[in-house]
Amino acid sequence: MTQKISQAPLAIAQLTTQKIVVLGAGLTGLSCVRYLAKHGLTCSVNDSRDNAVNIDVFKQEFPHTALTLGGWDKTLIASADVLLVSPGVDTSIADIAKQISNNCIVAGDVELYCQNNNTAILAVTGSNGKSTVVSLLAFLGQRLGKNVELGGNIGVPVLEQSQKSLDCLVLELSSFQLETLRSMKAIAATVLNVSDDHLDRHKTLENYAAIKRGIYQQCQTAITNRDDVNTQLVGKAQKSLSFGSDAALDGNFGMSVIDGQRQLMFGSMPLIGVNQLPIAGLHNALNCLAVLALGHSAGWPLDEMLAHLVEFKGLAHRCQLISTYKNVQWINDSKATNVGATLAAIEGLAAMMSVDNNLYVIAGGDGKGADFSPLTNIFSKDVSHVFTLGKDGDEIAAVANKAQIKNSKVTGIEQAINILGNIVKSGDVVLLSPACASIDMFKNFAERGEVFVNAVNKLSGENKTPSLPEENS
């Protein structure tokens, strides 16, 4: 990412004389154009893709907005006073970076929002679990009677929330969004965890972690994960609290075993049993602690949050229990698009399993240059058999071989499910947790997850007695 990011104000009144260029014509980019137009401001839009938008539809909605597709317009970029950059656009590439003038303000939609709104914010970043945490946090806020909405990397673009009068905006922030964010003043913010992801853009884990931790400079209370050193505050005295899987000091959140049952804790005070949580696995117990810490920082009563916590249903494709066919848990974790997410899923589920049962994992796809070696130990310790597929499936198979566990190469998820249908036994777990992006075989992680769901439903349907109707998928 270019270092030419300025803290110069983006207040609407100060943009009236600026030449504004929006880079990227996806949902975020178009939300910027729409926001500017509502305030009587014009801009130009540039996207490197030929088919980023339907030109006729664009012109109908934005008749006074210049649109350039099919490549980065160097002349246009060089002339910009303000560049509003969509998260998916890497401004460090030569076609963009070399054109940005020294006085140009480079920002994103969240920065534009924060410079023009005073809504209370709770902010969440991290490699894994962000969507679960922000969704649960917004759910609890709404159950407490507060006007709470989601924004950022989930739901609608944040600028589409700008006209609403909210008690709190819960922001999910990716590393890409954090690169162009400097003016947020959140009540509290957390880095849930940090693992290899997006290194094709961020180059090193250290750089990626530093970008994530930048969120702490823009909040009153920093909430860190004691289990992950990469989430810790570095060299700055700041109000903070923490969560983790260990026992917690007073004023912090953790876990303890009481009468043989693992409990979420606030200091020495038991909150709720892990087995009572609505989402499975120890990694999701940590997610619940992060939610409670964020809500507590905002002044939400712990007892009221706990009363509604058990009502949460979880999110699709995130350790989602699909079926208990054959008394086996068939779990869709297609959103696990990196190694850290798969590690968390395996660790979280294995901790709840009997030693006599087997954990089967389906993994593979486009690893985007990730290092799969961190899976070696957990494969060896907790996984019985790995089914590999996709562009980098062979790399995961190599890790399984090193871990000395069974592995099978399959052409697709359906083949793996058909094989598993014949070998699983009561108490086993089948987990789709690819540790990879989906773009080599699917449109997105959601389509990959639906293929898994449909295959499991087909398997269970095929084994029903013929007189019964087949389940809908």
Answer positive or negative: Cα dihedral of 74, 109, 153, 160: negative
Say whether 202 is catalytic: no
Among 116, 128, 130, 358, which one carries the catalytic annotation?
130
Q: Which residues face 240 on adjacent strands?
A: 222
Number of H helices, E strands in the chain: 16, 20
370 touches 196 (CB < 8 A): yes
- Amino acid identity of 317? H
Say whether 54 is catalytic: no
CA-to-CA separations, 313 to 142, 171, 277, 300, in angstroms, rounded: 15, 20, 10, 21
In 3D, which of 210, 155, 207, 462 has the Cα closest to residue 323? 462
Among 4, 198, 391, 458, which one carries the catalytic annotation?
198
CA-to-CA separations, 73 to 7, 134, 158, in angstroms, rounded: 25, 37, 26
Residue in this structure with the two tokens 């949460």, named with its chain if needed: 312
Euclidean distance between CA atoms 195 and 180, whole angstroms? 21
Q: What is the phi/psi pair of residue 288, to 5°?
A: -65, -40
Euclidean distance between CA atoms 238 and 221, whole angstroms? 7
Q: How far is CA 390 from the centre of its chain?
A: 22
286 touches 228 (CB < 8 A): no
The DSSP string of 239-283 is: -EEEE-SS---TTSEEEEEETTEEEEEETTEEEEEGGG-SS-SHH
267 touches 248 (CB < 8 A): yes
Say whether 153 is catalytic: yes
Q: How far is CA 26 from the centre of its chain?
A: 18
Euclidean distance between CA atoms 410 and 242, whole angstroms? 42
Instruction: Record the tokens describing residue 51, joined without a space.
Output: 């088919």
Give the three-class secondary structure for 65. coil
Euclidean distance between CA atoms 86 and 199, whole angstroms? 18
Q: How far is CA 295 from the centre of its chain?
A: 19
Among 46, 116, 128, 153, which one carries the catalytic annotation?
153
User: Exposure pattern of 100-117 as b/e (b: 16+ CB <10 Å)?
Assistant: beeebbbbbbbbbbbbbb
Instruction: Record the tokens describing residue 376, joined without a space.
Output: 């070696």
- Amino acid identity of 211? I
Euclidean distance between CA atoms 156 and 171, whole angstroms? 11
R_g (Cα) of the chain, nearest Å = 23
Kindly list the catalytic residues: 130, 153, 198
